[in-house]
A and B are shown apart, each in its own frame.
Chain A
Amino acid sequence: MNYALYIASALGAVALLMMMPRHRPTPRALGGLLGAMVLGGLWLFLARFLPDDWGLPGQGGAVMAYYYIFSAIAIIAAVRVITHTRPVYAALWFVMVVLATSGLFLLLWAQFMALAMVIIYGGAILVTYVFVIMLATQSGYAAGPALSTTAGATDDSADYDRVAWEPVAAIATGFVLLAVLLTVAFPLPGRPGLEPNAEAAMVSDTDLRANVLTNRPSDRLALQVEDGAGLAAIEAAEGRGEQVSNIERVGLDLFESHPLGLELAGVILLVSLVGAVVISRQRVDDGEAREAGDAAEGRG
């Protein structure tokens, strides 16, 4: 089983090498085909080890099908991020990676994190990236008529975007690490696999509701309605009854078990806010920086 993982890593490295942008034309389509075959072959090989219920009790094989779809989207988009020669398109493909990751989160019962990823990553961080890409585009290149050509024509992008730097060494590094990670991740036939930590498992919904969540709005509402029929109606209307939602669990864990981490996160955000202001405050208007920029431009 180890050998399959090693071979898949090596073939994947070759496929990625074919897709890397270089000076001369690259067999990009061939590389993409080889990469897809490697990924599909690896999944077919690994699917043989899945148990009858696909390893996801109570959810069935449909979830695993969604896993393959989202995973394929994420990996293809990630490859496009690192091989695309135009920064704006790379950022857009990264949005695709984020969306596929959110899909995987939904399969793993992490609904709140899936939405938070879309809003924070896809909404806030990526918009900042695209904004900076547009701010920091080279003058002359942005205004040039070549920008109106299709995405296939890469001639208008800057030289440092068109040529990968030392692709062989970098890909060797990355895929040796990948082979090691895969060997560790997959439970070998002769080695005992990972077992779920039963002691760390989450408290049952009933306990949580009785002992911790005693003051939820829905519960208070239920107390105001005296007769049992009203309470049943409320619970039926909310459709969750005894269940505790994912966002309530995450919030409880965050505020009960990690209060120090929460404070530190706030401090880090404040420090980075101050740092960003200090860095970009920069002498925009005093002329000195502009002269230096002009001098550098004149030299180049």
Chain B
Amino acid sequence: MDAPISNIALAHFLLTGAVLFCLGIVGFLTRRNLIIMFLCTEMMFQGVVISLVAFSRFHLNVTGQTFVIFVLTIAAAEAALALGLVVLLFRHKRTLDAHAWTALRG
């Protein structure tokens, strides 16, 4: 119960987290559906959360897991706000296409 995992085992978990984070970035950049774009940000959260818990296990310190609670809080708040915004935007233009709102570029 008190032995830390090795460097390489930690790096394996960091690999999974990094891959999830980068897939989230790629999805956010390529998808044009507003809902899926926000889903991809949630996926980036997942990657970060895996890294946090892996470091928590590596240093034998539960603060990493405590931070995951805060990440969950922010994710829930973000989901509520973002989805409210998406519904609002959808009511205006009847589409979820992010390109329908390019006028926001100014």
Query: Across the interface, do B30 and A97 meet the contact criterion of CB distance under 8 Å?
Result: no
Query: Across the interface, do B29 and A174 meet the contact criterion of CB distance under 8 Å?
Result: yes
Q: Considering the chains assembled together, what is the distance between the CA atoms of A58 and B57 in angstroms?
A: 14
CB distance from B86 to the nearest CB of A (A): 6
Total interface residues in chain A, CB < 8 Å: 106
Given contacts A108-B56, A120-B76, contact A202 B61 (CB under 8 A): yes
Closest A residue to B94 by beta carbon equals A297
Q: Considering the chains assembled together, what is the distance between the CA atoms of A160 and B33 in angstroms?
A: 6
Interface residues of B in 29-79 (CB under 8 A from A): 29-33, 35-36, 38-40, 42-43, 46, 49-50, 53-54, 56-63, 65-66, 68-70, 72-79
B interface, size bucket: 35 or more
Closest A residue to B10 by beta carbon equals A194
Query: Across the interface, do A296 and B81 meet the contact criterion of CB distance under 8 Å?
Result: no
Chain B residues closer than 8 Å to A300, beta-carbon distance: 93-95
Query: Across the interface, do B7 and A257 meet the contact criterion of CB distance under 8 Å?
Result: no
Closest B residue to A105 by beta carbon equals B53
Q: Find B59's partner among A196, A279, A296 (CB 8 Å cutoff).
A: A196
A26-34, A73-81, A145-153, A212-220: which lies at the B interface?
Answer: A73-81
Given contacts A49-B8, A173-B29, contact A289 B80 (CB under 8 A): no
Query: Across the interface, do A268 and B73 meet the contact criterion of CB distance under 8 Å?
Result: yes
Query: Across the interface, do B8 and A50 meet the contact criterion of CB distance under 8 Å?
Result: yes
Query: Across the interface, do B99 and A174 meet the contact criterion of CB distance under 8 Å?
Result: no
Chain B residues closer than 8 Å to A98, beta-carbon distance: 46
Q: Find A170's partner among B14, B26, B35 (CB 8 Å cutoff).
A: B26
Q: Find A268's partner among B2, B4, B62, B77 (CB 8 Å cutoff).
A: B77
Query: Across the interface, do A196 and B24 meet the contact criterion of CB distance under 8 Å?
Result: no
Query: Across the interface, do B81 and A78 meet the contact criterion of CB distance under 8 Å?
Result: no
CB distance from A272 to the nearest CB of B (A): 4
CB distance from B63 to the nearest CB of A (A): 6
Query: Across the interface, do B25 and A177 meet the contact criterion of CB distance under 8 Å?
Result: yes
A210 within 8 A of B: no
- Contact string, A46-60, partner B, CB cutoff 8 A, digits 1/0? 100111001111100
CB distance from B82 to the nearest CB of A (A): 9
Q: Considering the chains assembled together, what is the distance between the CA atoms of A64 and B88 in angstroms?
A: 46
Interface residues of A in 158-191 (CB under 8 A from B): 158, 160-161, 163-167, 169-171, 173-175, 177-178, 181-182, 185-187
Query: Across the interface, do A282 and B88 meet the contact criterion of CB distance under 8 Å?
Result: yes
Give 9 pairs: A residue, B residue, CB < 8 Å, sorted on A.
A94-B43, A112-B65, A132-B87, A139-B94, A160-B95, A160-B96, A165-B32, A272-B80, A293-B91
Which of B's residues lie within 8 Å of A, judged by CB? 1-16, 18-27, 29-33, 35-36, 38-40, 42-43, 46, 49-50, 53-54, 56-63, 65-66, 68-70, 72-81, 83-88, 90-99
The 7 closest A-B pairs by CB, nearest first: A55-B9, A82-B27, A55-B6, A170-B29, A272-B77, A57-B3, A174-B26
Q: A51-B6, A57-B5 are in contact. List 8 more A-B contacts (CB 8 A).
A: A55-B10, A71-B15, A75-B23, A90-B36, A113-B53, A136-B86, A174-B29, A201-B59
